[in-house]
Structure 1
Amino acid sequence: MSESLSTYIPKNSIQLVLNILLEHPIPIKIVNKRATKHGDFKIMKNGKAQITINNSLNEYQFLLTLIHEIAHFTTFKKHKGVKPHGIEWKQNFQHLMLPFLQPSIFPQQLLPYLANYLKNPKASTGSDVQLTYQLKQYSSTSNTTIIFEIAQGSLFTYNNKTYKKGNTRRTRIECVEINSKKTYLFNQNAEVLLVQ
């Protein structure tokens, strides 16, 4: 494991991650924050696999994303041609993640949310509103707010545009972009900047 990778994950998880990477070696590239994803797994044109992970994640988000992406790699090696987040990936992710679910790695208050998420993991941890909210509590540098926390009618900015929060549907929130008056649907976990 590269020295830099160990600075992004909880100290007590380093040996477990090292063991996984010894069994499943794959290059891991740490990149600047991307708005649409925390990490990804891809097969490059030369046929080699690579994982990228955002450098903006807190250590718990980073570890969860890392194991999520390694699960894609192990699934790819065992079952080429299956759905990216199908049953094979879910089982590999659960198997890889289980040893990390301990209070020496994750804070005690996060463990129930992680355990609940891992019962049936989705393509993105962002689809689990409560887990996302709990993970965000450990991000000290962020001045953003998760959209489901703000009051209906509040103004916020996202990607340099200003919106007004509207009604909440089942999984999305209707928001009106102020200049165009168009309605957009936001994921409940979207990180936005509240207009004061």
Structure 2
Amino acid sequence: MSKTLSQYIPENSVKLVFEILAEHPITIKIVNKRATKHGDFKIMHTGKTQITINNSLNQYQFLLTLIHEIAHFTTFKKHKRVKPHGIEWKRSFQHLMLPFLQPSIFPEELLPYLANYLKNPKASTGSDVHLTYALKQFDTASNTTIMVEIAHGSLFMYNNKTYKKGNTRRTRIECIELNSKKTYLFNQNAEVILLQ
């Protein structure tokens, strides 16, 4: 697994990641892309624990997601049952991420966004529009874009349905599904396929 894992993260982060995993051994599975999450931490019915991470993430998003999920594991080991993204997890995540915040691991243009996000990390990096956009710049060529980048009134596809972008609320964007004429709320960071 270590050799496989090293293919998904920045080269200069490998040693640090393996040091963490030596101290906190956990099963890590790299899985196909899931639309609703980058990764997760599970406690199996057998009591064993496992982390899964999408194979479609760029190396910086993969590393951030990996440390996010390891923080769930270390929080569980120390506190057992607490809020999934409560203060215990936030402290663990901040502590684990700090050594990685250096220009030899993350590009300098990402560091300010990461530092800002880590002041009060949320359940998903997707909740930080600026960080999501900065991380997306390192994706390999894709036919998707994020909602916040497309113009009001644009048509786009999401899960094989066509929508029209409407007004932005505080954190969500109203979009009309063209067949049903129903209004749906989209996260500003939702990945969609622009049609026009």
Matched, 1:32 2:56: no
Which residue number in structure 1 is paired with residue 16 of structure 2? 16
- With normalisation by structure 2, the TM-score equals 0.99
Which residue number in structure 1 is paired with residue 134 of structure 2? 134
Measure, in 2, the Cα distance between the counterparts of 1:76 and 1:189: 29
Matched, 1:192 2:192: yes
Measure, in 1, the Cα distance between the counterparts of 2:102 and 2:86: 26
Query: Partner letter of residue 191 of structure 1?
Result: E
TM-fit CA distance, 1:141:
2.9
Matched, 1:42 2:57: no
Measure, in 1, the Cα distance between the counterparts of 2:116 and 2:18: 26
Structure 2 alignment gaps of length 5 or more: none
Measure, in 1, the Cα distance between the counterparts of 2:159 and 2:56: 17
**What stretches of structure 1 move > 3 A for 4+ residues in a row?**
none
Matched-pair identity in %: 83
Matched, 1:117 2:110: no
Which residue number in structure 2 is paired with residue 181 of structure 1? 181
Measure, in 1, the Cα distance between the counterparts of 2:18 and 2:173: 40
Measure, in 1, the Cα distance between the counterparts of 2:11 and 2:81: 35
* SS state at 1:3 partner: helix
Measure, in 1, the Cα distance between the counterparts of 2:73 and 2:114: 21
Measure, in 1, the Cα distance between the counterparts of 2:80 and 2:20: 20
Which residue number in structure 2 is paired with residue 156 of structure 1? 156
Which residue number in structure 2 is paired with residue 88 of structure 1? 88
**How do 1:99-118 and structure 2 match up within 5 A?**
99-118=99-118
TM-fit CA distance, 1:59:
0.1
Q: What is the number of residues matched between the two proteins?
A: 196
Measure, in 1, the Cα distance between the counterparts of 2:159 and 2:141: 18
Structure 1 alignment gaps of length 5 or more: none
User: 1:154-177: CA deviations, max 9, x gaps?
Assistant: 000000000000000000000000
User: 1:33-84: CA deviations, max 9, x gaps?
Assistant: 0000000000111110000000000000000000000000000000111100
Query: Partner letter of residue 153 of structure 1?
Result: G
- With normalisation by structure 1, the TM-score equals 0.99
Measure, in 2, the Cα distance between the counterparts of 1:168 and 1:31: 33
Measure, in 2, the Cα distance between the counterparts of 1:40 and 1:122: 14
The CA RMSD over aligned residues, in Å, is: 0.6
